[in-house]
Chain A
Amino acid sequence: DVKVTQSSRYLVKRTGEKVFLECVQDMDHENMFWYRQDPGLGLRLIYFSYDVKMKEKGDIPEGYSVSREKKERFSLILESASTNQTSMYLCASSLPPNQPQHFGDGTRLSIL
């Protein structure tokens, strides 16, 4: 079974802090994704990567950046956290092109 592991289930940070969310997958998937989930808005894509060191903006990239130095690891970075970034963050991975996505359990991030 594919395992996608997110480093924290719950995280509380302060406004202005730099926040790192880590995601690791164990199935050698080329594609990795970061989503944000808010009530009534569904899953919105922040960034995705289809190869090491490659990244593409999703629908809501403002205020975020990503890093993919190794195939199995995809990090989401909030450069200067703000309260409107309080949300559930989900990481996913898949084989190309557009094969089923496997999701991590999510990180519920609160920015105070």
Chain B
Amino acid sequence: QQPVQSPQAVILREGEDAVINCSSSKALYSVHWYRQKHGEAPVFLMILLKGGEQKGHDKISASFNEKKQQSSLYLTASQLSYSGTYFCGTEGAQKLVFGQGTRLTINP
């Protein structure tokens, strides 16, 4: 079953913060996050492997709440380069099931 991402789209000004949520009706064992810029291939951001794990690099971080079966991606002090569509992927048997994506637009 496809995980559900929210919001579907968000528009920010440069420097503002954003949170993207990914919820699953099934138990989660790991969550992947990817970003796809317009006209380009999706690019891996991070994997969260354990419940409660938090990761981050630069000003992008993520958390994984196993009990709530959800993960959240946090973008702090957003930059123009953060624009794109963000996908979460939840782990199945040797495969991922991706959410429908969240389109993030950062305006100057």
A residues engaging B (CB < 8 A)? 4, 31, 33, 35, 40-45, 48, 50, 56, 58-59, 90, 96-106
Contact = CB atoms under 8 A, between A and B. Distances in A.
A50 B8 CA distance: 32
Contacts of B42: 43, 90, 101, 103
8 pairs of A and B residues whose beta carbons are closest in the complex: A103-B41, A42-B100, A100-B44, A43-B98, A42-B98, A42-B101, A103-B42, A98-B91
Contact of B41 (A42, A48, A96, A104): A104
B100 A45 contact: no
Nearest to B94: A50
B72 to A, nearest CB: 18
Contacts of A59: 2, 97
17 contacts: A4-B41, A33-B95, A42-B101, A43-B42, A43-B87, A45-B95, A45-B96, A45-B98, A58-B95, A59-B2, A59-B97, A90-B41, A96-B94, A98-B30, A101-B42, A103-B42, A105-B40
A45 B91 CA distance: 13
B95 to A, nearest CB: 5
Interface of B: 2, 8, 30, 32, 34, 40-44, 47, 87, 89, 91, 94-101
A74 to B, nearest CB: 14
Contacts of B47: 99-100
A97 B101 CA distance: 23
Nearest to A97: B94
A96 B100 CA distance: 24
A93 to B, nearest CB: 12
Contacts of B89: 43, 101
Nearest to B30: A98
A35 B95 CA distance: 11
Contacts of A33: 95
A42 B99 contact: yes
